[in-house]
Structure 1
Amino acid sequence: MKQPKPTKHSNVVFNQLCKLIPVGMVRNLASEYGVDKKCRTFSVWSHVVSLLYAQLTHSIGLNDVCDALRHHSAKLFAIRGATPPSRNGLSNANKTRDADMMEALFWKMLTHLQHQFPQFGPAGSYSKLPRRFKKAIYSIDSSTITLVANCMDWAKHRRRKAAAKLHLRLNLQTFLPSFAVIEEGSHHDSSRMMALCAGLQAGEIAVFDKAYVHFKHLFSLTEMGVFWVTRAKDNMCYHVCKKRQVSGSIVRDDEITLKTKSSKEHYPQRMRRVVARVEVNGKFVEMVFITNNMDWAASSICDLYQSRWAIEVFFKQIKQTLQICDFLGHSKQAIRWQLWSALLLYLLLRFQAWSSDWPHSFARLFTMIRGLVWDRFDLSDTLRFYGTAGDRWRMCIQPQTAYLPGFAP
């Protein structure tokens, strides 16, 4: 039987990927944020396309982007009139244009895809997510992105180090960001706690590490009707009000109140403290969890916190595949432009993988598309038929059995 193979396409693969962005979306946002002013030769659309190309090809410098796009200027112009940038033009655009527009483009594109294709999000849920919870579950964490200290004074947070920090709220049912903040690495995680949780609805669940523990913020979530699960700090002082029966890997299950005056003022109600033996890297260790839910089974609380580790998988995906190690500029705006373009490319690739029933990993998807950037293959067919080609037919010949006189064959 003849094996299927991808068909030719009138547009290159990179064109098909960029055209997932609706016509006029970038232009409207550029007008809203005033980014389209004084851009006579290098349009905002060309700027977005150039940064997506830099991400997709792992470009390590301005010349890398500009020279490659200039070489393929005819194919680039077919992407809704995009033009190759000059080195100074791209550098100046990254430095002076408001990166809030790129952030708004990411969120608007995410809303557009989820509205047009409601099944897009749930299809990418985290595999180890507890299925017994019907409400949305969010994992909250941050990741530090190392920068060059000697030329990025705005990002210094230690004596000889500079970094940007990505605070993220990840929806575990869709494995897509629902809120993100990019800022200097000097800010502590707890300072962005309320901003990350501001959009949560009553009944939804937030799971985060103990770096985000601030009892005043936790009580605000409780008053909002949001359930939260986190780890207790080692120096937390408390008074046990009620002990519950335990079994299996659960060591303790208590209802507690905070003991110190300031903590009790910030969180006057009871909370729940669960001590459990959890397997980490093949070894069982005791972990202490706290939550404001009094009805869940203790094992469910452990499972919820273990699902928080999905956000580490997300950070691993974007750091190991996208270009967020070598930056095209040193200013804060340039860093934000590149980070938001990385998240936008991640969104486009995730949608393309979903629409093409891609069965393999995200890293394999990225490397495959990177090798086909300027080829005229139908991208959906290429992903759908990937790995379906059979081996060539080979004739197997059985060697003749040796025959010696006096021996039976």
Structure 2
Amino acid sequence: MTSRAGALLSGIKWVDNVKRVAGIGLRGLTSVCQLKNQTCNMFSITTFQRLMKGLPRGTFAQLVERHNADKYCKKFGHWDHLIAMLYAQISEAKGLRPLETGFNSHVAHHYHLGTSAIKRSTLADANENRSDTVFSDTAAWLMGKVSRKLRQQSNDLMYLLDSTSLTLKGREFERWTPENSTRNTQGLKLHVLYDAHDAIPVWHDISHPNVNDVERAVDVPLEANALYVFDKGYCDFNWWKSIDEANARFVTRFKNNAAVNVLQKSDIPADDAHIVLSDEIVTFKHKRLGGKRINLYFGKPLRRVIVARPNKDTPIVLATNDFDSSAMEIAQHYKKRWAIELFFKWIKQHLKIKQFLGRSENAVRIQILTALISYLLVALFNESNRVKRTLWDCLCFVRATLFQRTDTEDLHDRRRRQAAHEFAEIQGCLFS
């Protein structure tokens, strides 16, 4: 008997058994068949596949096609590259050999992920020679998707802007890092615009450490009625003017040598007097900045709030174009800037951006972008499952069950418990 005939006979027997046991008609039998198919489909997917549902294959293919990135790829395309790098991030692979051995040991799941076994030499060549453009576009697309899906229904949009340095020293790194290094940093710099309400990055860029932060800030997308909070590393009065012209607000710090004229002083509530030292309306003294550049903010009023710091002798001098909020609220807004520092600390501790699978600049960039993609996919996974767990707990769950069909195992466990319970009821008590 052929396998097809055997499968057909098995299906007929299953249908006859259902009709005989349940005593249902054709319509009821159809419903049972549909339920059986849905159950099989529901419980046959691994955690890795569920994680990748946040990035549809068709969308990624469009990003690849936009740059014609797979033109000269025969087997190991960008999707295979992404899956391998995501596995490296989530499994915390220490190098190319553990990555190859670990990923290839799950060959039964490669087909469902749309990929195949990998070779470490092929992956190393791809990391070194391929452009990071597709990975950068993928991270940007996911940031937009996560932002739309997780954004709270709030009129107060607060974005935090900052950068963090990634130190790269040692063999092979010395070939390209010293020429763009600074006195304190050698490697690369990651720039991020962070949504403070939903705890997600919404814009990113990667530069050399000798690039001034404000040079990348001009590329940040500005949104009307939003609040942008950043430190004094982004002190550019002309960029502040562009934020104001976008009908957005900002809170930052004045530099110590900022020359201003005081136009008006506001009264400070008694309850805030121990924190807020002064609240003033000021304008800039000079129309031209260093290098004879014109100060576009000249003549326009600005608010200066001086806040005491309990642990330090010197206060913080804040600058803002927000004239409606209280001085204490302005101080609280700047205090929330610490959230982006915690984000940088989180990805450095829990994702793989300290040990690299390649030492070329391109390989490092791809690994940093894959870390961002992993963070966003885990955030989507956590939201779609609607489980009240922290992002760190969710990442631990994904790591522990990456190639497991957790839903299937839960179903089998429930069935075992139910069968044991029914058996206990039928058997009765022997020692009553």
Structure 1 and Structure 2 fold alike (TM over 0.5): yes
1:327 and 2:348 are equivalent in the alignment: no
Code of the residue aligned with 1:267 in structure 2: it is Y
In the TM superposition, what whole-angstrom CA distance separates every residue of 1:225-279 from its partner, at most 9, and x where no partner exists?
A: 2211101112222221111101222110111122244248342112111112355
Aligned residue in 1 for 2:66: 32
Structure 2: distance between partners of 1:189 and 1:303: 23
Aligned residue in 2 for 1:252: 278
Aligned residue in 2 for 1:373: 402
Structure 2: distance between partners of 1:149 and 1:159: 17
Aligned-residue sequence identity (percent) comes to: 29
Aligned residue in 2 for 1:44: 78
State the secondary structure of the residue aligned to 2:71: coil
Superposed CA RMSD in Å reads: 2.7
The 3 A distance-change label for structure 1 pair 214 and 13 is same
Structure 2: distance between partners of 1:35 and 1:380: 39
Q: Decide which of 252, 256, 262 is 1:234's aligned counterpart.
A: 256
TM-superposed deviation, 1:182: 0.9
Contact 2:166 2:190 in 1 (8 A): yes
Aligned residue in 1 for 2:204: 180
1:214 and 2:251 are equivalent in the alignment: no
1:271 and 2:302 are equivalent in the alignment: yes
State the secondary structure of the residue aligned to 1:251: strand
Aligned residue in 2 for 1:142: 163
In the TM superposition, what whole-angstrom CA distance separates every residue of 1:303-337 from its partner, at most 9, and x where no partner exists?
A: 11112111112112211111111111122221121
Structure 2: distance between partners of 1:307 and 1:379: 43
Contact 2:167 2:187 in 1 (8 A): yes
Larger helix proportion, structure 1 or 2? 2
State the secondary structure of the residue aligned to 2:218: helix
- Structure 2: tracts of 5 or more residues without a match: 1-41, 415-432
The 3 A distance-change label for structure 1 pair 161 and 270 is closer
The 3 A distance-change label for structure 1 pair 182 and 381 is farther
Contact 2:54 2:380 in 1 (8 A): no
- Structure 1: tracts of 5 or more residues without a match: 1-7, 124-132, 386-409
State the secondary structure of the residue aligned to 2:263: strand
1:121 and 2:145 are equivalent in the alignment: no
Question: What does 1:304-323 correspond to in 2, within 5 Å?
Answer: 304-323=333-352
Contact 1:165 1:183 in 2 (8 A): yes
TM-superposed deviation, 1:361: 2.7
TM-superposed deviation, 1:343: 0.9
Structure 2: distance between partners of 1:179 and 1:295: 28
The number of residue pairs the alignment matches comes to 360
Question: What does 1:43-82 correspond to in 2, within 5 Å?
Answer: 43-80=77-114, 82=115
TM-superposed deviation, 1:105: 1.4
In the TM superposition, what whole-angstrom CA distance separates every residue of 1:129-151 from its partner, at most 9, and x where no partner exists?
A: xxxx8232111000111212542
Contact 1:16 1:379 in 2 (8 A): no
Structure number with the bigger relative contact order (C-alpha 8 A, sep ≥ 6) is 1
Aligned residue in 2 for 1:168: 192
The runs of at least 4 consecutive aligned structure 1 residues that moved more than 6 Å come to 379-382
State the secondary structure of the residue aligned to 2:376: helix
1:89 and 2:122 are equivalent in the alignment: yes
TM-score normalized by the length of structure 1 = 0.81
